[in-house]
Amino acid sequence: NGASLNHPADVLDVAFSPDGTLLATACADGLVRFWSVTTGTPLGAALDHGSSVLTLAFSPDGHQLASGGEDKLVRVWSVATRQPTGVVLQHDAPVEDVAFSPPGDLLATASSVGDDRVRFWSPRTGELVGASVQSCCGLQDLDFAPDGTRIAVGGSNVRPTLARIAPPFRGD
């Protein structure tokens, strides 16, 4: 039995907090909304990304949320305060997916047609870390291996690809 959320805009992505108590929704209206998993009610103020939000990811500790959008930007937010951390990351095309590494020291971002690359950032400083992974024609998804040493990418017209991430190629 599921409960339907009373949502005012199209939902383009969803993410559970690591502790399972929050659900974040990425919306076409440019807002990120938080919901109680137990009651289905909205929690606190929405985050204003500024354009359609295409993707979301919580940090492993649940303290941060990254949102990526059609505006080619990734914003990092404090979940506790619902305020931006000041980290804004720029791509050359809409951001299709974001993922934190298992230790939370890297934030990977995938952009789509026109850029087609995965970039790695320090979520604390917003600085690029290491080399990007170039792909072709429509990156849409990425995920870290549980041990954080590899990343998998895929999308339309993209063969699934594995890339190794090894020290010193790490954030913070």
Tell me: the pLDDT tens digits for 67-116?
Answer: 999 999 999 999 999 999 988 999 888 999 999 999 999 999 988 777 77
Q: Which two tokens stand for residue 111?
A: 């952009």
pLDDT, mean over the chain: 86
- Full-model pTM: 0.89
Helices (H) and strands (E) in the chain, counts: 0, 15
